[in-house]
Amino acid sequence: MKYFTRGEIINRIKTSLDDYDDSKNIGDLFDGLFNSDYYIIGSYKAALALDSNWQADWYDLLTQYSVDLPGVFGALQLVRHYNEDTIGIEDISIDEFLNPEKIANQVEYILAAYQMDKILISNNLDYESRLTKHVKALLLK
């Protein structure tokens, strides 16, 4: 299985839309899919996924965050630069550094947030948009 692909993220969004009614918003959908559980279970499996050629789908994002190293080190660069930009934390703690599951989860979250932002911008939506039939149709296209 190939991890961290754009297609995988889009498919997760599309196949989960029916699990959310119009009392929920896009932020609820996003958090439920990408912020509620580990993306990869098992340190060895996560380490292998991070050491794969996961960057292939994400050139534009990686350029934005100055990620120029492959594999695991590219993942660590991405997490560090993303955290600097979004929450002001400049370093990855040693506990995070030594936990491939946590790094894999953070990478998946960052990639998913980037992809979701692109979808929302292209459809003039935001994370507070209710998951109405019309909004779900926009997310499916």
Q: Per residue in 45-57, pLDDT tens?
A: 999 999 998 998 9
Q: What is the structure's pLDDT at 26?
A: 98
* Under 8 Å between Cβ of 1 and 107: no
Domain residue ranges in the chain: 6-140
Q: What is the structure's pLDDT at 96?
A: 74
Instruction: Please tell me the least confidently modeled range out of 23-27, 95-99, 116-120.
Output: 95-99
Helix (H) or strand (E) segment spanning residue 134: helix 133-140
Q: Per residue in 62-99, pLDDT tens?
A: 999 999 999 999 999 999 899 889 888 767 777 777 89
